[in-house]
Amino acid sequence: MRLGIGDDYAERYLPEILARFSYSNPCVEVSIICDDSDYVAQRLHKGDLDLAIGTGPGFREHGELLKRERLVWATSSTHSAQLQDVLPLAICAEDCCWSNQAIRTLKQMGRQYRIAYQARNHAVIASTVIAGLAVTAIAESGLRPGMRTLGPDEGFGELGTSDILLLKPQTALSSAAEILSQHICDSLATLGTNGIQAYNEAAE
């Protein structure tokens, strides 16, 4: 089985998905491609993947909705980058829908900003935020220990929501892919607020 997953979701959701699938299909080898969502969507359309999990334009047209969550502003819980006159912003990529939404919202707010950090890896982005070097836009479930959210009371407008989607090829799925697809749906349904809280507590 070949599964593609957006880098922002792998750490939170893969352990549960793989544990479920391995229990029911112990003899099936699973190959994981972990990268940004647009890249894994392209790989699936080329026939290089059996299933893909992600968000953004590459998934929106044909993807199956797995979960919808709030986008939030994240800053360090111990530093105050958000108080700088020109807001230092950390973004994942110029084509990232979360980053684009953050920039649109800042422009609507009339808030000056600069791109302080840019990386395609969400762990890198999280590190800059926790260190107090920048602010970012992130899915609520992606908040990590050392982060806190910013809201309207601190001058930061709402960012809307983000959809996590499952993308399948247009050809018929194999039996193993059907089973993995169901495990993905079940895992994301199970990993609600309580599951994410447990993940964050374990990380601490």
Q: What is the pTM of this model?
A: 0.81
Q: Which fold has domain 70-161?
A: D-Maltodextrin-Binding Protein; domain 2 (3.40.190)
Cα–Cα distance between 183 and 152 in angstroms, integer?
Answer: 38
Q: Is the pLDDT of residue 201 over 60?
A: no
- CA nearest neighbour of 57 among 40, 38, 70: 38
Radius of gyration of the chain (CA): 18
pLDDT at 75 over 80: yes
Do residues 59 and 6 lie in contact, with contact meaning Cβ atoms separated by under 8 Å? no
Report whether 135 contacts 157 (CB < 8 A).
Answer: no
In terms of average pLDDT, the best of 31-45, 72-86, 177-191 is 72-86
More confident residue, 107 or 121: 107
According to the model, what pLDDT value does residue 193 have?
A: 43
Q: What is the pLDDT of residue 196?
A: 39
Q: What is the mean pLDDT of residues 54-83?
A: 90
In this prediction, residue 194 has a pLDDT band, given cuts at 50, 70 and 90, of very low
Write down the pLDDT at residue 120: 82
Domains 2-67+163-203 and 70-161 share a fold: yes
> pLDDT per residue over 44-53, tens digit each?
999 999 999 9
CA distance 27 to 33: 19
Strand blocks (E) in the chain: 2-6, 31-35, 51-54, 64-76, 87-91, 113-118, 136-139, 147-150, 161-167
| Residue-by-residue DSSP string for 68-109 | EEEEEEEEESS--GGGSSSEEEEES-TT-HHHHHHHHHHHHH
Cα–Cα distance measured from residue 105 to residue 194, given in angstroms and rounded to the nearest whole number: 29
Distance of CA 178 to the CA centre of its chain: 23
Instruction: Check: CB of residue 180 under 8 Å from CB of residue 32.
Output: no
**Can you give the pLDDT at residue 94?**
66
CB-CB contact of 155 with 87 (8 Å): no
Enumerate the domain spans of the chain. 2-67+163-203, 70-161
CATH architecture of 2-67+163-203: 3-Layer(aba) Sandwich (3.40)
pLDDT in tens, 141-183: 889 999 999 999 999 999 999 899 999 998 888 899 999 999 9
**Using CA atoms, how far apart are residues 75 and 133, in angstroms rounded to an integer?**
9
By mean pLDDT, which of 51-60, 111-120, 146-155 is the weakest?
51-60
Give the model's confidence band at 24: pLDDT under 50 very low, under 70 low, under 90 confident, else very high: confident
Percentage with pLDDT > 90 across the chain? 54
Cβ contact 86:114 at 8 Å: yes
Query: Given this model, what pLDDT does residue 202 score?
Result: 40
Mean pLDDT of the chain: 87
